[in-house]
């Protein structure tokens, strides 16, 4: 049986290949590895020349981390620390709205979850240390990632797949101030920051603030891939 095809959004950044600097579509391979390990077949979606026709060729989509969502998208002026990619915002919002309208399985990670909140009428905290009074969600010294607990609401997709609580990694300066029409389903017990969002009116629309692709826990990727298989009427995908 063919694998469900999972689209993954990519970054457009300056990169070096050999001795040459060039503008490139780039993405940490950990996203691809997580999709493949979870039974999907990954294809990369670049932010140039956006068109919803790509959704005709895929079964699910992952919105990845990266630059900040432009605060103008939720009616605010940018904090001095904000770094945006307006072209990426436009391309991904086009795909996100179309995917939600088609009830395509959506998984948002870090920026991807924040983009979901904005698409559903919400807004972001632009600089968490100003709001929370600490930098635990993006440590300025030590390991790349911070680490903390996240607790989940009963009856949510996150609870069904991850249980009552998990320890997650953390590397973000922004967070959810208002989830809009999405349901907040996961929180950091330390400070109450929203860590998971869902649309319970769709088959699978889940966003998380942490980076599961940079762990060995791919249960959310597996659930997303299984939802993509179910959309085609295929049996649940075996986790390899």
**Per annotation, catalytic residue among 110, 195, 198, 224:** 110
Backbone angles phi, psi at 182, to 5 degrees: -80, 155
Length, in residues, of the chain = 240
Report the alpha-carbon distance of residue 13 to residue 124 in Å, rounded.
Answer: 24
Report the alpha-carbon distance of residue 17 to residue 79 in Å, rounded.
Answer: 33
Backbone angles phi, psi at 234, to 5 degrees: -85, 155
**Per annotation, catalytic residue among 36, 158, 213, 224:** 213
Is 213 known to be catalytic? yes
Reduced to 3 states, what is the DSSP secondary structure of residue 199? coil
Spell out the alpha helix ranges (H) of 120-174.
Answer: 128-132, 157-162
Is 110 known to be catalytic? yes
Backbone angles phi, psi at 21, to 5 degrees: -90, 135
Distance of CA 110 to the CA centre of its chain: 5
Residues with a known catalytic role: 110, 211, 213
């Amino acid at each position: 049986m063919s694998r469900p095809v999972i689209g993954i959004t990519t970054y457009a950044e300056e990169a070096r290949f050999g001795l040459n600097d060039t503008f490139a579509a780039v993405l940490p391979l950990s996203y691809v590895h997580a999709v493949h390990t979870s039974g999907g077949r990954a294809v990369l979606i670049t932010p140039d020349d956006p068109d919803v026709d790509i959704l005709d060729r895929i079964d699910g989509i992952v919105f990845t981390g990266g630059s900040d969502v432009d605060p103008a998208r939720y009616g605010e002026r940018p904090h001095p620390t904000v770094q945006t990619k307006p072209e990426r915002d436009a391309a991904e919002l086009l795909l996100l709205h179309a995917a939600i309208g088609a009830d395509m399985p959506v998984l948002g990670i870090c920026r991807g979850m924040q983009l979901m909140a904005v698409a559903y009428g919400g807004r972001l905290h632009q600089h968490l240390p100003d709001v929370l009074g600490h930098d635990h969600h993006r440590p300025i010294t030590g390991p790349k990632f911070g680490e903390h607990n996240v607790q989940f609401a009963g009856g949510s997709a996150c609870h069904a797949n991850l249980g009552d609580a998990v320890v997650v990694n953390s590397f973000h300066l922004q967070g959810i101030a208002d989830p809009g029409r999405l349901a907040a389903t996961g929180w950091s017990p330390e400070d109450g920051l929203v860590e998971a969002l869902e649309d319970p009116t769709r088959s699978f629309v889940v966003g998380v603030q942490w980076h599961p692709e940079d762990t060995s826990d791919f249960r959310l990727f597996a659930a997303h891939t299984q939802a993509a298989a179910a959309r085609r009427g295929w049996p649940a995908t075996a986790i390899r």
